[in-house]
Amino acid sequence: MNKITNPILTGFNPDPSIVRVEDTYYIATSTFQWFPGVQIHKSKDLVNWELAARPLDSTKLLDMTGVPDHGGIWAPCLSYADGRFWLIYTNVHSLRGAYKDTPNFLTTAESIDGPWSDPVYMNSSGFDASLFHDDDGKKYYINMVWDHRPWKKNSFYGIVMQEYSVGEQKLLGKPELIFKGSDHRLVEGPHLYRKDGYYYLFCAEGGTGYDHCETVARSKSIHGPYEIHPQNPFITARDYPDSVLQKTGHGDMVQTPGGEWYFVHLTGRPSIAGGYCMLGRETAIEKVDWPAGEWPRLATGGNEPSLTVPLPEGSTALQKPLPPEESYSFNAPMLPRPFQTLRTPQKDNMSFSARPGYLRMYGKESMTSPLNQSLIGLRVDHPVFTATTSFEFAPWSFQQSAGLAAYYDMTSYYYLHVSWDEERKRVLHLQSCQHKDISYPVYNLNIPNKGAIHLKLEINRETLQFYWSIKGNEWNPVGPELTTSVISDDFEPDLRFTGAFCALACQDMTGTDLPADFEGLSIKRG
């Protein structure tokens, strides 16, 4: 019997929100500081998913200029009502220390492809906001509230609700506290549903790490009080250290046309000793039993996440594996869809027409700048992953560089790049950034002073190795094997949220915008 194998969205696809419109399912996930904002996949069968849209594709809808690492888009909520898609999203401006600045917005569209309406500002009291469309036509907006007061000892104040007026495009009245959470604490990620005379409130708790879980509560009134599920938590991996799927929680429910229920949720797969998740937080799915008037439960009867899940009744869908190889060229007048940039569109930092068949990237600020980097990234979505590129670059200053990176954020990356030295002229440097500290395991490696250079990055679960070549057929290793823990979620003591990327980048800190011409990027999995 065919089954769904988890995760269904691999490599940095956290905080899923799911909706079905007729015969098509859509999942929206967080993108944090990567632009365009909000990643939406679609499927006809809950089994095979394809990238359908990233709706926040203009600075009018999303301006992340200068946002810190792991700021930007947190936990979008995608819903459908009144012939339109409704997308709620948070653009986190700051997150370190006691405070979090979290403006929340609403945009709508008749089609998942847009156009999306101008954003409507909602509030800034917290994050993980969502919109519930009640049977009587009313709409209710809910979000967690952030409490910056240290003496309260719990920054996750609770879940608040306000009615939303579509005509006035604003929230009505004062926020009403409807749920303080359970003993698992850190309540966030709320989603409301109405079923069999009850309002059901699903929330993430326990933090988004290894204590993560999902709590369910219900009430006869939308205003509460909400009674907590007698077998709480609804799902968790914290009691199952041998489970392949860890960090489970923060999810959303969907019903099939046949009346079956499925729950999509965040998960992480440790691929490195010590519990490091290089692939970031991904999206998995569970089948749910939800008889009339009763509490929902996982179809397995327990609360441990499942590696394989039954298909909807009558389905014969076969799950397609990730392609073992993919090549991306730069022949079109835009980036291939899987790529994203950091914080802004970066349209002025690149050209597809200056040299046809190449992506010309103009050198901008350093890899540690939150403002104007010239960088494009592609998710690492398999624990065994190879990326290869070739490019031409003629630096004349040590402040100019271009190359291939294994990138997590501004404080954690490896970067093999062509630069310049007063004595050796054109050279290769291997730069390592760990805990914000920059070092050079290899520097001033001799390469030809002219012509294309080929670079390769090989990831094999716990280790990473760079190579260079003149023609792309005889590869020379650069430096030692490196640990992939540096580009994993769990490398820093503070929580990190994105997962590893392979990236093409170009810097010119002289301010003269010296370009590099990239011919393409090829990847292999497994």
- Helix, strand, or coil (residue 349): helix
How far is the C-alpha of 380 from the C-alpha of 127, rounded, in Å?
A: 27
Quickly list H helices, 258-299. Answer: none
Q: Which residues, 6+ apart, have CB-to-CB distance to 449 below 8 Å?
A: 425, 426
What token pair was written down for 409? 């954020």
Q: Which residues, 6+ apart, have CB-to-CB distance to 469 below 8 Å?
A: 453, 454, 455, 456, 475, 476
What token pair was written down for 45? 């069968």
Burial per residue of 357-395, b for 16 or more beta-carbon CB atoms within 10 angstroms, e otherwise: ebbbbbbbbebebbebbbbbbbbbbbbebbbbbbbbbbb
What is the signed CA dihedral for 4, 7, 10, 11, rounded to 10 degrees?
180
- Which of 69, 62, 95, 79 lies closest to 26, judged by CA? 79
Which residue's entry shows tokens 């309002």? 199
- Report which secondary-structure segment, H or E, holds 433: strand 425-434
Which residue's entry shows tokens 């999902």? 214
Residues recognised as catalytic: 15, 188
The 3-state secondary structure of 476-516 reads: EEEEEEEEHHHHCCCCCCCCCCCCCEEEEEEEECCCCCCEE
Q: Any idea how long the chain is? A: 526
Cβ neighbours, 10 Å, residue 101? 13
Q: Which residues, 6+ apart, have CB-to-CB distance to 513 below 8 Å?
A: 362, 363, 364
